Amino acid sequence: MGDSARIVGLYRYPVKGLSPEALAEVRLEKGETFPNDRAFAIENGKHDFDPAAPKHYPKIKFLMLMRDERLAKLKTRYEDASSTLHISLGGEEVLSANLLSKEGTKALEDFMSSYMSGELRGAPRLVHAPGFSHSDAPAKLVSFINMGSVRALEEKIGAHVHPLRFRGNVYLEGLAPFEDHDWVGKRFTIGDVEFEGVHRTERCAATNVDPETGARDMEIPKTLLQNWNHSDLGLYAVVKKPGVLRPGDLLSLSE
């Protein structure tokens, strides 16, 4: 690793399966995810998520990009102070809803009933539990994407691979391809936040969907497997020491 490994992007995904939101900075607490990352999810089919006793479910339970690529056409923005989600389609705002109110919840569910009508297995239901994250990982982790790995993948595919296909929280520049895969069990610091690597991120068919257009136009897990004998790209890590992250913050590995 050079001395210049640094953050080039910070993102969260307030509603699981919907679009990323770029952040200018994020305050992380020990053992927590990005604030409001995957705070909401939309059940597709059986309504058995219990906000009073939240537990992790496989993503297949919810509306998600792996199967529902139409979601990628929706551009969203979430306001923490007012709990309001704004959804735009084709540059026009189509919904503004307070997701912590009954009216706002119903407005989002009604919108999805119409917009996703062909993909639904039953009435969509917005679910949320304070402090719970509907991440693909059952633990409260932060996901890192190594831009060097993304470029190595681009070379094999022979086309641009949009980094947000990987729906990471922290995007890092200045690393060798897949170098972060060696950080499982190791401590590293970015800015004043200390992390410990937990496990590599296995990739699924959601990465085959272009986050800008919603087109299913690549075979990313298959390409990874064919060229590197695994379908991993990225790292999940746990916050060990709290602090603030900003783009440009430098990374250092603990000895």
Going by their DSSP bridges, the two strands 142-146 and 170-173 should be labelled as parallel
Phi, psi (rounded to 5 degrees) for 156: -70, -40
Confidence of residue 136 (pLDDT cuts 50, 70, 90): confident
Q: Which residues contact 18 (CB under 8 A, 6 or more apart)?
A: 71, 74, 76, 87
In angstroms, rounded to a whole number, what is the distance separating the alpha carbons of residues 223 and 153? 8
Nearest Cα to Cα of residue 57 among 45, 72, 71: 45
In angstroms, rounded to a whole number, what is the distance separating the alpha carbons of residues 94 and 75? 10
**Does the global pTM surpass 0.75?**
yes
Domains annotated for the chain, with CATH where assigned, are: 6-32+137-253 (2.40.33.20), 40-128 (no CATH)
Q: Is the separation of the CB atoms in 39 and 14 below 8 Å?
A: yes
Long-range contacts at 75-79 (CB < 8 A, ≥ 24 apart): 75/19, 76/14, 76/15, 76/18, 76/19, 76/21, 77/21, 78/14, 78/15, 78/21, 78/36
pLDDT higher than 80, residue 154: yes
Sign (positive or negative) of CA dihedral 186, 187, 189, 194: positive
* Per-chain mean pLDDT for the chain: 92
Residues in the chain: 255
**Range with the lowest mean pLDDT among 6-10, 66-70, 233-237?**
66-70
**Range with the lowest mean pLDDT among 15-19, 157-161, 238-242?**
15-19
Q: Is the separation of the CB atoms in 200 and 171 below 8 Å?
A: no
- Report pLDDT for 255: 66
- Report pLDDT for 67: 66
Going by their DSSP bridges, the two strands 84-89 and 21-22 should be labelled as unpaired
Q: Is the separation of the CB atoms in 175 and 5 below 8 Å?
A: yes
- Report pLDDT for 65: 63
Q: Which residue has the higher pLDDT, 149 or 44?
A: 149
- What is the token pair recorded at 84? 């309001």
pLDDT higher than 60, residue 2: no
Confidence of residue 150 (pLDDT cuts 50, 70, 90): very high
Q: Is the separation of the CB atoms in 248 and 5 below 8 Å?
A: no
- What is the token pair recorded at 191? 């800015």
List, for residues 49-72, the tens digit of each pLDDT value.
999 999 988 888 898 766 677 888
List, for residues 73-127, the tens digit of each pLDDT value.
899 999 999 999 999 999 999 999 999 999 999 999 999 999 998 889 889 999 9
Confidence of residue 1 (pLDDT cuts 50, 70, 90): low
**How many beta carbons lie within 10 A of that of residue 62, not counting itself?**
24
Confidence of residue 186 (pLDDT cuts 50, 70, 90): very high
List, for residues 188-220, the tens digit of each pLDDT value.
999 999 999 999 999 988 888 888 777 888 999
**% of the chain with per-residue pLDDT over 70:** 97
**% of the chain with per-residue pLDDT over 90:** 77
In angstroms, rounded to a whole number, what is the distance separating the alpha carbons of residues 245 and 227? 33
